Amino acid sequence: MANDIVVNEKVLLGSRCGPMDMALSIMAEHAAVRRLLNAMVSHVVPLSQAVEAMDLAATPGVIKVQLHARGFTTAALVYTFGDTHQSLAGWLQPTEAQAGHRQGATARQEI
């Protein structure tokens, strides 16, 4: 996929719809919403492995692959690749499950 982007000069374009202020407010006020959004991410991958993440996102059964830019604050830029679109999801906060996964405690996969 990455070669296809470079060789054929394709452009990845993110998009979002709706008022971001309202979405951030809802997520800040409701833990259940944050848990639901975090559950949509099946894999967390370091930004340095973006090419592998794009290939992984094309794998059947993968829900979302999140690219994490380490070294930023908890509101770091996090790109999420799904089946047919990409979105900027920097508002997602790390959860205990994600932290536990990084120690091998959950079903989420990190490469």
SS3 of 62-88:
CCCEEEECCCCCCCCCEEEECCCCEEE
Residue 33 included in any domain: no
Q: Is residue 103 part of a domain?
A: yes
The tally of domains found in the chain comes to 1
Domain of residue 86, residue span? 41-111
Contact 57, 81 (CB under 8 A): yes
Q: Could you tell me if residue 107 is inside a domain?
A: yes
pTM of the model as a whole: 0.43
Give bridge partners of residue 88 from the DSSP assignment: 79
* Alpha carbons 30 and 97: distance in angstroms, whole number: 17
Q: Which residues of the chain have pLDDT under 70?
A: 1-2, 13-16, 70-111
Please check whether residue 60 lies inside any domain of the structure.
Answer: yes
Whether 28 is in a domain gets the answer no
pLDDT, tens only, 81-111: 444 333 334 444 444 444 444 333 334 444 4
Asked, for residue 64, whether it belongs to a domain, the answer is yes
